[in-house]
Amino acid sequence: MRIGDFKETYAADEAVFRTPTVRFWLYLLGAAILVFPLLAGEYLIYMANITAVAVVGAVGLNLLTGCTGLISLGHAGFMGVGAYTSAILITKFGVPFILTLPLSGLMAALCGVIVGAPSLRMKGLYLCIATLAAQVILEFTFVHWESLTHGIRGLNVPAPTLFGLSLASGPVFYYVIMIVAAISVTASRNLFRTRVGRAFIAIRDRDISAQLMGISLFRYKLYAFALSSFFAGMAGCLMVNLLKVVTPEQYPLHLSIQYLAMIIVGGLGSILGSILGAIFMTIVPELLRSALGLFQGLDPQIMSYLFPLQTVIFGALIVGFLVFEPHGLAEMWRRAKAYFRLWPFEY
Amino acid sequence: MDILPQLIVSGLATGGVYALIALGFVLIYKATHIINFATGEFMMIGAYFCYTFMALAGVPVLPAFLLVMVCAAILGFLVERVILRHMLGQPVISIIMVTIGLSSILMGLAEIIWTSQFKNLPPMFPRAPLNLGVAVVRSNLAYGFLISMAAVGAFALIFKYAKAGVAMRATAGDQMAAFSMGINVKSMFSLAWALGGIAAALGGVIIGAIGGISPILGGVGLKIFPVVILGGLDSIGGAVLGGLIIGVLENLAGGYLDPFFGGGVKEVAPFVFMVLVLLFKPYGLFGKEEIERL
């Protein structure tokens, strides 16, 4: 049983991973991620890829919504911007995939700043509706800027290569995605040890107080928008290179809502929460599909209920978590840990 | 025939229906400060209620309308009582997300109950289009407009003169003061949701009568955001004006700009206009500026 929380050096106090136990489990997780594609089949690798991309996107949205308190319904739009940037750079200009990754992030960040700048005077509901408008306008642009985006037919992207090495097969691209996801998570974890991250939290807790303490609201809200869209853009870039095609239907308003659901289910303002939420919300529909598949023998029509059931469960999860567990999975995880740490005592 | 008056008149007619739906949103926001993202789904469910009564049970038009209103009121009441009551005093993000979750639940349920097939409401209005001289309006749209305006007028009268309406306004003004004057604030919340549900459902029936119904009918509900932002979130008059403006605007934009963009301008124009408005007036045209104190 671990008791108390005392440290002898500043280095220990500042460490991201506080104890050897944490570090041990983390190395184990890293090893598991490395070994996973050797053991898993095509389908599982694909699921892992999708989940990791969702992690990148959710971490980005959590920076904006969870940590800075600015709700955004335009996240899918920014992902779309990243996806289209990557696809256009690759197909029209022959830029290598690895270069398009930061470039699509930057492009999305630029869009984020353009949307964010006028939104800085608004908050709460008005901001929410302004970002909704951004989503609608971006979707319209994807469909109707025919010369660049090929409209609803979308763009096909060749298999990505890295230094002449083909990344076509699942396992290789899996590592690329995992590295990007790991970097994203680490970067945002570290962000909250810096001035910028703390300014974000101050703005979320009370923006006027933050301003009085000398935090430039304008600048830091823009940072939040830019950073969040940067992550979204990278996620979009990974997505398009994973699926090798980009169409406007891949980035609808519903996806924005899905990302919001991820960070709410996972836990607003928590990095661990973004990861757990992304995993949870990607896996639950799959589990539902297999669960319904079990009953297919009884009623061949049952698969037609899959989509509406998913919709209902999706909504019920959002409502349920907000009503019963507003801090999400991260909080449940923390409580579970605390329970076992102190067992058999109450506190 | 010149296209301009035609566009304006049918835009006004559509705008009247938007005004009714926006009214459902404003009623709820005014009384409870909850932003109801599920307004569109309330519409959709209302339209399906109407379909069930008229097409499946064979109820005539007027009783069917009454039944739809009763059912919608019960739905609104239940939603408030079961879900939203728990969210009192929560941050804006949570409230917005709860109503978004709710809209997802309603959409899924509608698809399970009524399947995702496109359905047509039985004809409920005389078929002859209305000829106004300068323009011709489809009969569904014209009667829809009249019903909407009648409903908006009725709601305005309730708000202004009925005892419950006055109590609701008092609650909107200051919950504490209303409470200390013996107004049952909680039942006012329920009432607001019931009325909001009725307004949205009526709007849904009209929209459904014009264009048919399917579970994604609720998407129309997104358009009320430009309307309410334009009109101010807590003003009934603003909702009506905003509805008419947006109706005309989207029709004009659709009529004149579609050839240049290859269609779809109608859907996006209200949002572009709204962004422009918000750029200069962050609280909308008629919205109340919120003053914050530490």
User: C-alpha angle B118/B120/B121, rounded to 5°?
Assistant: 140
Residue B108 to residue A318, Cβ atoms within 8 A: no
User: What CATH number did the domain enclosing A289 receive?
Assistant: 1.10.3470
Packing angle between helix A306-324 and helix A253-266, nearest 10 degrees?
A: 40
pLDDT confidence of residue B223: 84
| Structural domain includes residue A31 | no
Closest chain A residue to B96 measured between Cα atoms? A125
Q: What is the mean pLDDT of chain B?
A: 86
Nearest-10 Cα torsion for A97, A98, A100, A103: 180
Least confident window among A20-24, A89-93, A250-254: A20-24
Residue A213 burial (CB < 10 Å; 0-12/13-18/19+)?
exposed
Residue A14 belongs to a domain: no
- Whether residue A136 and residue B271 make contact (CB cut-off 8 A), yes or no, is yes
Structure confidence by residue, pLDDT tens digits, A190-219: 998 899 999 999 998 888 899 899 999 889
* pLDDT band per the 50, 70, 90 thresholds, residue B203: very high
Pick the residue from chain B with its C-alpha nearest to A133.
Answer: B271
Which of B29, B79, B100 to mutate: most A Cβ within 10 Å? B100
Tokens encoding B123: 């004809």
Count of structural domains within chain A:
1
Chain B residues within 8 A of A311 when measuring between CB atoms: 104-105, 107-108, 111
Nearest by CB to A260, from B97, B105, B262: name it: B97
B278/A65 touch (CB, cutoff 8 Å), yes or no: no
Taking CA–CA distances from B117, the nearest residue in chain A reads A304
Which residue of chain B has the CA closest to A259? B97
Angle, vertex CA A75, rays to CA B89 and CA A131, nearest 5: 60
The Cα of B95 is separated from the nearest Cα of chain A by a number of Å equal to 9
- Percent with pLDDT over 70 in chain B: 98
Instruction: Test B101 with A133 for CB contact under 8 angstroms.
Output: no
Neighboring chain A residues of B294 at a CB cutoff of 8 Å: 206, 208-209, 212
> Between chains, do A323 and B86 touch, taking CB under 8 Å as contact?
yes
Residue A347 lies inside a defined structural domain of this protein:
no
Size of interface A-B (CB pairs under 8 A): 137
Q: What is the pLDDT of residue B85?
A: 86
Helix (H) or strand (E) holding A309: helix A306-324
What does the alpha-carbon distance between residue A63 and residue A180 come to, in Å, rounded to a whole number? 17
Residue B210 has pLDDT above 70, yes or no: yes
With H, G, I as helix, E, B as strand and everything else as coil, classify residue B248: helix
CA distance A281 to chain B (A): 14
Other CB atoms within a 10 A radius of the CB of residue A131 amount to 27
Asked if A112 and A225 count as a contact pair (C-beta separation under 8 A), the reply is yes
* The pLDDT of residue A59: 95
pLDDT at A121 over 80: no
Range of the domain at A79: 40-342
Return the pLDDT at B24. 87
Best probe of the A interface among B107, B268, B291, by most A CBs < 10 A, is B268
B284 to A260: CB separation less than 8 angstroms, yes or no: no
Alpha-carbon distance B45 to nearest alpha carbon in chain A (angstroms): 14
Looking at residue A347, its pLDDT comes to: 67
Quick one: pLDDT band at residue B294, thresholds 50, 70, 90? low
% of chain A exceeding 70 in pLDDT:
95
- Answer yes or no: is A54 within a domain: yes
Distance from CA of A215 to the nearest CA of B (A): 16
Answer whether A180's CB lies under 8 Å from A101's CB: yes
Give the C-alpha separation, B215 to A61, whole Å: 29
Distance CA B124, CA B140 (A): 8
For chain A, state the CA radius of gyration.
21
Q: Which residues of A touch B278 (CB under 8 A)?
A: 118, 122, 126, 129-130
Asked if the Cβ–Cβ distance from B98 to A128 is below 8 Å, we say: no
> Hey, are the CB atoms on B112 and A308 less than 8 Å from each other?
yes
Contact A14, A189 (CB under 8 A): no
Nearest CA in chain B to A307: B108
Mark yes or no for CB contact B274/A318 under 8 Å. Answer: no
Please list the residues that pair with B136 across neighbouring strands. Answer: B131
Q: What is the mean pLDDT of chain A?
A: 87
pLDDT tens readout for residues A28-44 = 998 998 888 888 888 88
**What residue of A is the nearest CA neighbor of B111?**
A308
Q: Which residues of B touch A307 (CB under 8 A)?
A: 111, 116
Interface contact B271-A137, CB threshold 8 A: yes
Residue A1 within a domain:
no
Q: Which of A125, A128, A131 to mutate: most B Cβ within 10 Å? A: A125
Contact residues for A30 (Cβ-Cβ < 8 A; gap 6+): none
Does residue A32 form part of some domain?
no
H helix intervals, chain A: 10-14, 20-39, 42-61, 75-93, 97-119, 124-144, 146-149, 170-191, 195-205, 207-212, 217-243, 253-266, 271-294, 306-324, 328-342
The β-bridge partners of B213 are B119
Give the nearest partner residue to B278 out of A126, A268, A308, using CB atoms.
A126
Say if CB A138 and CB A252 are below 8 A apart.
Answer: no
CB atoms within 10 A of CB B181: 11
What pLDDT does A185 receive? 93
Substitution target in A318, A324, A327 with the highest count of B β-carbons within 10 Å is: A318
Residues on chain A touching B87 (C-beta within 8 angstroms): 322-323
The pair of structure tokens assigned to B9 is 């008149």
Q: Is the pLDDT of residue B1 over 70?
A: no
Contact criterion met (CB below 8 Å) for B224 and B204: no
End-to-end CA distance of chain A: give it in Å, rounded. 12
Residue of B nearest to A127 (CA): B282
ipTM: 0.87
Look at residue A226 and tell me if it is in a domain.
yes
Q: Which residues of B touch A136 (CB under 8 A)?
A: 222, 267-268, 271
List, in order of start, the domains of chain B with CATH numbers.
3-126+133-280 (1.10.3470)
What is the SS3 assignment for B137?
strand
Q: Confirm whether A295 is domain-assigned.
A: yes
pLDDT of A2 reads 61
Which chain A residue is nearest to residue B275, measuring alpha carbons? A130
Residue B275: which of A133, A309, A316 has the nearest Cβ? A133
C-alpha B119/C-alpha A188 separation (Å) is 48
- Tell me the mean pLDDT in the region A120-146: 86
CA distance B131 to B287: 37
Helices of type H across B33-180:
39-51, 61-82, 92-114, 139-161, 163-173, 175-180
How far apart CA A125 and CA B284 sit, in angstroms, is: 12
